[in-house]
Amino acid sequence: MPVSLKTKPILTLGFGLGGVLLVWELLDQQLALLGEWGLWGVSALGLALWGLRRRAAPAPVNAKISPLTLTQVNQERRRLQTLFNQIRETAPELDLADLQTALDALENPAPISLFTGAIGGPKGSGKTSLFNQLRQAPGLAALDWQEYVHADPDPETWPLPKADFLLWVVGADLGEQDWRALQRLQRHHYPLFLIFNKQDCYAPAARSEILTQLQSQVAALTPAPPVIPLGAAPRPILVRRYGEDGQSQEFWEPVPADLGSLPTALATLTATQTETLRLGRQWRACQALQEQAKARLDLYRRRQASPIIEKYQWLAAGAAAVNPLPAVDLLATAAINGQMALDLGTFYQQSLSLDQAQILAAALGEVMLKLGLTELATQALGAVLKSQPLTYGLGGAVQGAAAAYLTRLAGFSLLDYWESQPLFGPTETAPNLERLRVAVQGVLSQNPLRDWAPRLLRQTADQPLLNNL
């Protein structure tokens, strides 16, 4: 579909400034130095984005975790129903029938006959040994167990356990990963127990010191989980036995597991905190339904947004291929990215003004420049090739392919950036540079230039670029 410049004010501004620079170059060939024109381009771009101000992202605030109430869970259900209604208005084609059925079932949940506990912790802390002991411990028949294992070093990326409470097992002090995992699990309303395992590995004085340290560390959590020392699989002890003849015999004698006060604590939890466990399960079920609905909506939006990115990708390639000046390419790319941000924002309910779209495009370009993307070298090579009459056509193809790749990278980075925000949240007043950086790096890793370069060069050479202008 042809692009109308009358309805694209950012493109009009960018191409207008580019035209001024191009005319200036033709009038004064003596000053056509790349470095000078790079400065002129940046200056003109600065005028176009006059008023740009960087704002630091607010520091995250850790809210105090209060026990869930029935009122809170009901509010969460109503909020999720409102979210489903908004999704239906935005994307009527999406099928949410199964999610709606699951949400309706939460209004009158079936009684819980079996609670599930998850056992997590760092590698080598004794999770499996404790798991085996608890499965055969008397008095815990009403509990089911699962191990909570994870490979990614970042606890924020771990899938939440499908359990009602969690035992976090350590063999020493809490590490950074332990602490972050406990904070995240508590934010999702899991009752927690901190298990100090492998006590037999320490002398009594060291054992007492570590226990005190663990209690001090978890006191910062609200509520603070109880710290329970135990030995799920104690080391065998060396026994020397003397016979009547005075001869001695040495052998290793196994030591039975010592679960300490854990069975009593678990029995108390399931007997007195049934309502807390039930509310936590319902609240997390609401969160899981929201994630499923968001995933479907994100996929729907991407299918709609991809043709828009494709269109601007080739528009950028055309602008780069026909302009002999790097400064004009710079302005055209900035204008195209700004207009693309304006158009893509409509799919994500981002009520961007012209100024906000320009600022977002400028921030995105700043992040891409700071990352030192390799395609910028390809753009510079294209400028050199275009300066020679015999290689002008090849240079245009290389530069056009670089512009297409940059624009594609920018477009899908914007989609990732907006998908990291809450659904139907307010439009940000200033771009978050850190989240933009994460989005660009994520898209870059999925679309490396070495894989795209051959295809882009072929497509750029065959693309009817000027028809879109």
Query: Under a CB-based contact definition with an 8 Å cutoff, are residues 173 and 198 in contact?
Result: no
Among 86, 17, 136, residue whose Cα is nearest residue 294: 86
Provide the pLDDT confidence category of residue 434 given band limits of 50, 70 and 90.
confident
Instruction: Please report, for the chain, the start and end positions of each structural domain, with discontinuous segments joined by +.
Output: 5-55+290-468, 109-188+192-272
* Element of type H or E holding 85: helix 70-90
Supply the pLDDT for residue 62: 44
Instruction: Please write the tens of the pLDDT for every residue from 71-95.
Output: 999 999 999 999 999 999 888 989 9
Q: 242 forms bridges with which residues in the sheet?
A: 248
**Once rounded to an integer, what is the mean pLDDT over residues 452-459?**
58
Among 49, 48, 40, residue whose Cα is nearest residue 21: 40
Give whole-number Cα distances, 5 to 12, 13, 469, in Å.
Answer: 6, 10, 8
Percent of the chain topping pLDDT 90: 29
How many C-beta neighbours within 10 Å does residue 123 have? 7
Dist. CA 67–CA 62, nearest whole Å: 16
Residue 252 has pLDDT above 70, yes or no: yes
Which DSSP string corresponds to 21-69? Answer: HHHHHHH-GGG--HHHHHHHHHHHHHHHTTT----PPPPP-----PPP-
Dist. CA 186–CA 281, nearest whole Å: 13
Instruction: Please write the tens of the pLDDT for every residue from 112-126.
Output: 888 999 999 998 888
Dist. CA 101–CA 92, nearest whole Å: 17
Radius of gyration in angstroms for the set of CA atoms belonging to the chain, rounded to a whole number:
31
**How many residues in the chain?**
469
**More reliable by pLDDT, 322 or 295:** 295
The two tokens of residue 76 are 């969460």
First and final CA of the chain: distance in angstroms? 10
**More reliable by pLDDT, 359 or 128:** 128
Query: Under a CB-based contact definition with an 8 Å cutoff, are residues 68 and 276 in contact?
Result: yes
Give whole-number Cα distances, 7 to 11, 306, 317, in Å.
Answer: 9, 20, 20
Supply the pLDDT for residue 59: 32
Dist. CA 383–CA 377, nearest whole Å: 10
Range with top average pLDDT, 259-263, 398-402, 424-428:
259-263
**More reliable by pLDDT, 285 or 405:** 285
Sign of CA dihedral 4, 5, 6, 10: positive
How many C-beta neighbours within 10 Å does residue 244 have? 5
For 135-247, strand residue ranges (E) read 143-147, 165-170, 192-196, 227-229, 237-242
Instruction: Please write the tens of the pLDDT for every residue from 49-63.
Output: 333 333 333 333 344
Residue 327 has pLDDT above 50, yes or no: no
**More reliable by pLDDT, 227 or 461:** 227
Strand duo 115-120 + 143-147: pairing: parallel
- CATH code for the structural domain at 109-188+192-272: 3.40.50.300
Query: Under a CB-based contact definition with an 8 Å cutoff, are residues 322 and 396 in contact?
Result: yes
Among 219, 133, 209, residue whose Cα is nearest residue 169: 133
Query: Under a CB-based contact definition with an 8 Å cutoff, are residues 430 and 392 in contact?
Result: no
